[in-house]
Amino acid sequence: MSSNYHWLYRGTTEIFPSQPSNNPDENLEARLSNIDRPLRVKLGIDPTGTDIHLGHSIPVRKLRAFQDAGHTAVLIIGDFTAQIGDPTGKSEVRKQLTAAEVEANAQTYLEQLRPIIDFDTPGRLEIRYNSEWLKDLDLTNILELLATMTVGQMLAKEGFAERYEKDQPIYLHEFMYPLMQGYDSVAVEADVELGGTDQKFNIAVGRDLQRYFKKRPQFGLLTPILIGTDGVQKMSKSLNNYVGLKEEALSMYSKLEKVPDDQIKTYFELLTNLPLDNLPENPRECQKLLALEVTSHYHGKEAAKQAQQSALSLISGQAKEAQAVPEYSLAEIEFPVKLFYLLNVSDLCASSGEGRRQIKNGAVRLDGKKMTDVNAEFTSKEELAGKTLQVGKKKFIRLTAD
């Protein structure tokens, strides 16, 4: 057994069948070592959207690792389903696309993958459109595919089970999608299929169909779903917690240097090739290194360094701007004074009522410290003089004694 398959396991949630296996046919390291015959490593791409973010990049990065180990990446463009859209017409996500739209999306998609995938080394990349084989399936073939699974097995799929329990409609054609994805594996003779952990069921269906069609069943390799820059929910465009692969270097850098501390190691693991045991101890340095490293990957080292510089001067710029904050004199104020009253008379809020609401909403800060007590009160000018009072991100005043 070859020694160094670190790249295979880095950031990998699961490989199935589980490794190492005593069955040489099911031992992935053994199969990978037999480099006489490069493995065919499948990754499916859905060309319905065009913007890819770092979350999408994770299985693609794993695909690149397979390429670097001498294997063949087989990128499947799911043009067939994209051209059908949602036959019920109910889904806004799956709207029907023309062949030209699908092709344009696919090209945009591939362009974004260019920094990750090796497009150039001969034999390392195969791009296939699944309409190639799916358009030729007839009713006989499709009945045969359907007959490989039972309703119970299909309803066990994550997502279906919950919806069935809740009496939410599951349209019958939805049962075809895992079978179609599985049939892609048959058609391209995949040895390994990559995907996020949400792809486990579909990849397993691919294994079953390959067995049914007397082909060697593929391995499944699952990668984690990336948590977004908010540190809470999965990265997604609609949640606005994403970093797009097409983003400008400065934007990418700025988002990444704010990745929360508890996610930073995961980001390093999944989005860089840096060793994890040698990261800076200072969290701020850690964020900067991550941002620099990932930005370098998509924009080159120079651009990334420039982005870092710009981000720094932007911050000091903001600091300078802060010095230009309008002043408000406390000379006329009678103490003790309520915070909400101060917000009103200083014109930060249009009324005391609005002042109370902004405090409740957590929008009010004194020298950066959030003030959440609606009845907060100050007894003397000295407590406030020289401090910055702020509502939201844009309204500031500096309080002065006279």
**Chain residues in the site for a second copy (CB under 8 A):** 80, 84, 86-88, 134-140, 142-144, 146-152, 154-155, 164, 167, 169-173, 175-176, 179-180
Shortest distance, CB of residue 202 to a second copy, whole angstroms? Answer: 15
Shortest distance (Å) from residue 277 CB to a second copy: 49
65 vs 77, beta carbon nearer a second copy: 77
Closer residue to a second copy (CB): 74 or 154: 154
Q: For residues 189, 194, 199 and 204, what is the CA-based torsion angle, rounded to 10 degrees?
A: 40
- Partners of 45 in the β-ladder: 77
Scan for tokens 């309520």, then name that residue.
338
Q: From the CB of 43, what's the least distance to a second copy, in Å?
A: 22
Please, what is the minimum distance in Å from the beta carbon of residue 80 to a second copy? 7
* DSSP letter for each residue of 230-297: TSSSBP-TTTT---BTTS-HHHHHHHHTT--HHHHHHHHHHH--S-GGG--SSHHHHHHHHHHHHHHH
Q: Please tell me the distance from the alpha carbon of residue 40 to that of residue 347, in angstroms, as a whole number.
A: 66
Q: Which of 315, 176, 221 is nearest to 14 (CA)?
A: 221
Q: What's CA 60's distance to the chain center, in Å?
A: 12
For a second copy, the closer CB: 202 or 272: 202
Provide the minimum distance between the beta carbon of 158 and a second copy in the complex, in angstroms, as a whole number. 15
Q: Is 184 or 247 the residue whose CB approaches a second copy more closely?
A: 184
| 237 annotated to bind ligand | yes
Q: In terms of Cα–Cα distance, which of 240, 256, 238, 237 is closest to 248?
A: 256
Q: Which is nearer to a second copy, 94 or 395 (CB)?
A: 94
d(CA 235, CA 256): 13
Q: How far is the CB of 163 from a second copy (least distance, A)?
A: 9
Q: Hey, which residues does 42 pair with through a beta bridge?
A: 74, 193
Neighbours of 383 (CB within 10 A): 15
The nearer residue to a second copy, 39 or 187, going by C-beta atoms, is: 187
Annotated binding residues for ATP, written as ranges, equal 237
Annotated binding residues, written as ranges, equal 237
